[in-house]
């Protein structure tokens, strides 16, 4: 293999490596049902990449629901408790197709790997899905002050990998995450819907749609096109 321009890959967690979006939806749905307001899976798509606090703010905007500060705090606690209950059911089967093969290929080619997630439950998810051993660095929502689209979580991951942003590729499935990667000076691969991730340097539907070797070729080809 030709030596690539990048030394590390930094992955968002939810929706990129594992399928947790539906668990987030079910958790919020229980709360909105009690409020007697409508909240759909399409609405849930707009919460991708946001912190729990920012997700609640977006949800309140979508539904028109108004809460006191105390009610907001209670909603955040309840959502986390509901979500963690769902997480206890997670297994390695919740790892998205093609992910493990991709991680193995990158490791075999001496690329360092990190997870950078706004989720405060990221380590629990990684443990339940048995993905933890793949990663050299893990940064989660308990370690950052600013949620995406601020690049803090990615910059912390790069610092712990002892690399500069231009030496890493970020994989993201959310618009806010792509914006965060670009703001931090990273090359970014969007994983998911092209219309949502159009700012990314490269877009793939998912890791099952491209072989690790073809992905490597595509990633290596980015160096000539990406402007930092």
Q: What are the residue numbers of the active site?
A: 12, 14
- Flag whether 55 is marked binding: yes
Residue 132 carries which DSSP code? G
Q: What is the DSSP string of 123-166?
A: HHHHHHTT-GGG-SEEE-GGG-SS-TTSSHHHHHHHHHHT--GG
Measured CA to CA, the distance from residue 141 to residue 130 in angstroms comes to 19
- Flag whether 79 is marked binding: yes
Tokens read off for 50: 């946001």
- Flag whether 26 is marked binding: no
- Flag whether 94 is marked binding: no
Whose structure tokens read 């929706």? 15
Tokens read off for 70: 């105390």
- Flag whether 150 is marked binding: no
- Flag whether 148 is marked binding: yes
- Flag whether 47 is marked binding: yes
The DSSP element (H or E) to which 169 belongs, if any, is strand 168-172
Strand-pairing partners, residue 137, are 114
- Flag whether 52 is marked binding: yes
Collapsing DSSP states into helix, strand and coil, what is residue 82? helix
Please state the residue numbers annotated as binding site.
12-14, 28, 47-52, 55, 79, 117-121, 148, 172-173
Please state the residue numbers annotated as binding site for Mg(2+).
12, 14, 172-173
Please state the residue numbers annotated as binding site for substrate.
12-14, 28, 47-52, 55, 79, 117-121, 148
């Amino acid at each position: 293999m030709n030596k690539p321009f990048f030394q590390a890959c930094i992955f968002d967690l939810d929706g990129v490596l594992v399928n947790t979006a539906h668990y987030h939806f079910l958790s919020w749905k229980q709360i909105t049902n009690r409020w007697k307001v409508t909240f759909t899976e399409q609405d849930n798509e707009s919460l991708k990449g946001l912190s729990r606090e920012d997700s609640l703010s977006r949800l309140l905007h979508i539904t028109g629901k108004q809460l006191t500060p105390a009610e907001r705090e209670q909603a955040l606690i309840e959502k986390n408790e509901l979500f963690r209950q769902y997480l206890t059911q997670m297994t390695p089967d919740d790892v998205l197709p093609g992910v493990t093969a991709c991680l193995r290929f990158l490791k075999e080619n001496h690329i360092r790997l990190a997870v950078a997630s706004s989720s405060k439950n990221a380590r629990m998810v990684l443990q339940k899905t048995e993905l933890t051993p793949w990663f050299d660095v893990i940064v989660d929502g308990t370690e950052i002050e600013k949620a995406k689209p601020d690049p803090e979580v990615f910059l912390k991951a790069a610092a712990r990998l002892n690399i500069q942003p231009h030496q890493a590729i970020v994989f993201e499935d959310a618009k806010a995450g792509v914006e965060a990667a670009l703001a931090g000076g990273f090359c970014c691969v969007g994983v998911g819907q092209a219309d949502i991730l159009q700012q990314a340097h490269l877009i793939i539907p998912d890791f099952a749609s491209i072989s690790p070797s073809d992905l490597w070729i595509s990633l290596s080809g980015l160096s000539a096109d990406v402007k930092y």
